[in-house]
Amino acid sequence: MTAPGPSVEAAGPTVGAIPAVIPASTRSLRWLIVGMAVLLVVAPFVFYPVILMKALCLALFACAFNLLLGYSGLLSFGHALFFGGAGYIAGQAALVWGFPFELAVLTGTAAAAVLGLAVGWLAIRRQGIYFAMITLALAQMFYFYCLRAKFTGGEDGIQGIPRGKLLGVLSLNNNLTMYFVVLALFLFGFLAILRIVHSPFGHVLTAIRENEPRAISLGYKTDHYKLIAFVLSAALSGLAGGTKSIVFELASLTDVYWTTSGEVILIVLLGGLGTLFGPVVGAFVIVVVENYLAQLGGWVTVVQGALFVVCVLAFRRGIVGELSRLLHRPL
Amino acid sequence: MTTQALFSQLLIGLINGSFYALLSLGLAVIFGLLNVVNFCHGALYMLGALVAWYLLEHLGIGYWWALLISPLVVGLFGVVIERTMLRRLYGLDPLYGLLLTFGLALIIQGVARNYFGVSGEPYDIPSQLTGGKNLGFMFLPNYRAWVVAVSVVICSLTWFVVERTRVGAYLRAGTENSILVQAFGINVPRMLTLTYGAGVALAALAGVMAAPITRVSPLMGADLIIVVFAVVVIGGMGSIFGSIVTGFALGVIEGLTKVFYPEASNTVIFLIMAIVLLVKPAGLFGRTT
């Protein structure tokens, strides 16, 4: 029996529908995080650090995106704007203004937060499906701006961004040193999101995801909460994007194009919406898959599309979501 | 600035507007009944053009037959998509429909690119419609006049079917309350399938008509769909008439921007969207929900 959903434009209560979770015992959660950190510390001695850095940047980006979709139920189809936008600003800061590494990344992050404020302020006026279309359209507008603007270098992007020195002493040209700096930034972002999600603020976000009218009736100004969540998510996406452009010494149009917005959605969907570790697992899986498929050229998009279809039709909980269901505990 | 250039940009704007109107019309009909934002609308528009090109290149079937066959083929493809995939998502959050059709768009565009290359192929204007008329103040190519005329006719026809016929009454009733309509003995699942098929057939028709104007290329629908989304946000998806008017109007505004301030021609529709969101968040013709 197929009955279509009500045709009202409702904020979706079913997005990221993880079963009502019992609060994770903090101790075992702590051990899982320590375990992940240990794995990531050992990883560069086994795998090529550059690939790992790419995965870490994408993982942070995906965690930031998950804060919005998984925990607040807001599907932004324009997150490339913040990721790529911060990449351009950080690149400009490091290359042209001569900022040191940490200041350049910080500038990129701040720029993403400001962009997030502007976009979020416009987009939260509509809900559900319209929210997705508006963010997509605004990101596309930004893409056209970047295509024409002088400082972005158009099709060439900003090339030869210097990695510089950390705090003016530690040269980042060594990949291993760079890796540990990226890892530190990733862990900072990951823990920040953990803190946000488990704070009273985070619980209000979850309430908005589950039932916005009810949250309003309880006296919460849901628009404020949504806007703050949007800005936080944009800023953390900017942290990821700014770091990425400096690590790879390149800020390019690809990172502001809608394909990147689609990719981060896929990562979160594949890893598990509204799970803590899902975006990280998703990012590593996608990076590995893309790395293996690189020689197939044009088929990468087809595989991505097929993953989307499979995830939506048969695997809505994602990898970590399924694991979490099997183990009867939130992950 | 000559009036010649002004009018020719206006005409291009009107042409683009025709495509916006046809595409946002299909999106509105599909969204109204299925509650699905059809992200692969742009990819199916491209597929429509591709099928027309294939018919001509490999089977020697010309434009006029393609105008009929291509929407049928793509419409059937849409029926298959609805029956096998979209159907499973009814009752879930509409965002899943958006994500599924986004995935389908990636697949369709990716496969087309692998078989077809990115550069695209030209498609000739049918011999009956080559040439043009000199109207005194401007030169009007016959083919472009034809495209505008056809899309006005198709849009009016769709409006008539949805707003003034019995089938349309079922459709509108289904939009309001599909369970009740089903209780009256109307086969709603079949109606949903056919609506989706008809909506994407409109996209394919737009694709065939676009083929002689733009090159037939795998990515011709990729950026277009985002503009159409903005058109839909501006117009509000509630009304058929609204999406037609908004589509044409925005095409013309975009054309005028190309004349007076070309730097903004890519972004003007998105800017208008931002302004409309500030002033009337439900869209110009939308109902507040």
Considering only residues 36 to 95 of chain B, which have any Cβ-Cβ distance to chain A shorter than 8 Å?
37, 85, 87-95
The DSSP element (H or E) to which A84 belongs, if any, is helix A80-95
pLDDT digits (tens, 9 = 90+) for B152-206: 999 999 989 988 999 888 888 887 888 888 898 888 889 889 999 999 999 999 9
Considering only residues 281 to 300 of chain A, which have any Cβ-Cβ distance to chain B shorter than 8 Å?
297-300
Weakest mean pLDDT among A105-109, A164-168, B12-16, B160-164: A164-168
- The gap from C-alpha A270 to its chain's centroid, in whole angstroms, comes to 13
CB B93 to CB A12 under 8 A? yes
Nearest CA in chain A to B101: A309
Weakest mean pLDDT among A6-15, B71-80, B256-265: A6-15
| Contact B209/A at CB under 8 A | no
Task: Express as a percent the part of chain A with pLDDT over 90.
Answer: 49
Q: Where are the domains of chain B?
A: 3-220
pTM of the model: 0.88
Q: Which position has the token pair 């807001």?
A: A74
Residue pairs between chains A and B whose CB atoms are closer than 8 Å: 160
pLDDT digits (tens, 9 = 90+) for A33-55: 998 999 998 888 888 888 999 99
What string of H, E and C letters represents the secondary structure of B211-223? CCCCCECCCCCCC
The DSSP symbol for A125 reads T
Max CA distance (Å), chain A:
67
B251 token code pair: 């095409």
**Hey, what amino acid is at B286?**
G
| Contact A213/B at CB under 8 A | no
User: What pLDDT sits at residue A116?
Assistant: 96
| Contact B153/A at CB under 8 A | no
Nearest CA in chain A to B40: A305
Using alpha carbons, select from B258, B231, B233 the residue that is nearest to residue B22: B231
Is it the case that residue B32 has pLDDT exceeding 60? yes
Is it the case that residue B136 has pLDDT exceeding 80? no
CB B34 to CB A4 under 8 A? yes
Nearest to A313 among B37, B88, B233 (CB): B88
Cβ neighbours, 10 Å, residue A175 = 15
CB B100 to CB A313 under 8 A? yes
A292 token code pair: 């293996």
Is it the case that residue A267 has pLDDT exceeding 80? yes
| Contact A137/B at CB under 8 A | yes
Nearest to B95 among A6, A12, A126 (CB): A12
Cβ neighbours, 10 Å, residue A9 = 21
3-state secondary structure of A170: strand
- Cβ contacts of B219 within 8 Å, gap of 6 or more: B46, B109, B113, B118
Nearest CA in chain B to A135: B230
Main-chain phi, psi angles of A167, to 5 degrees = 55, 25
| Contact A20/B at CB under 8 A | no
A246 token code pair: 């400096």
Distance from CA of A116 to the nearest CA of B (A): 14
In whole angstroms, give the CA distance from residue A58 to residue B17. Answer: 38
Would you list the DSSP string of B155-180?
Answer: HHHHHHHHHHSHHHHHHHHHHH-HHH
Give the model's confidence band at A9: pLDDT under 50 very low, under 70 low, under 90 confident, else very high.
very low
Q: Where are the domains of chain A?
A: 47-257
A229 token code pair: 């969540």
- Cβ contacts of B62 within 8 Å, gap of 6 or more: B55, B56, B126
pLDDT digits (tens, 9 = 90+) for A195-250: 999 999 999 999 999 888 999 999 999 999 999 999 999 999 999 999 999 999 88
3-state secondary structure of A79: coil
ipTM score for this prediction: 0.86
In whole angstroms, give the CA distance from residue A245 to residue A163. Answer: 9
| Contact A13/B at CB under 8 A | yes
User: What pLDDT sits at residue A247?
Assistant: 92
Distance from CA of B41 to the nearest CA of A (A): 14
pLDDT digits (tens, 9 = 90+) for B268-287: 988 898 888 888 888 888 76
| Contact A133/B at CB under 8 A | yes
User: What pLDDT sits at residue B1?
Assistant: 57
Distance from CA of A195 to the nearest CA of B (A): 27
Cβ neighbours, 10 Å, residue B220 = 22
Is it the case that residue A179 has pLDDT exceeding 80? yes
Nearest CA in chain B to A15: B93
Considering only residues 22 to 61 of chain A, which have any Cβ-Cβ distance to chain B shorter than 8 Å?
none
In whole angstroms, give the CA distance from residue B177 to residue B182. Answer: 9
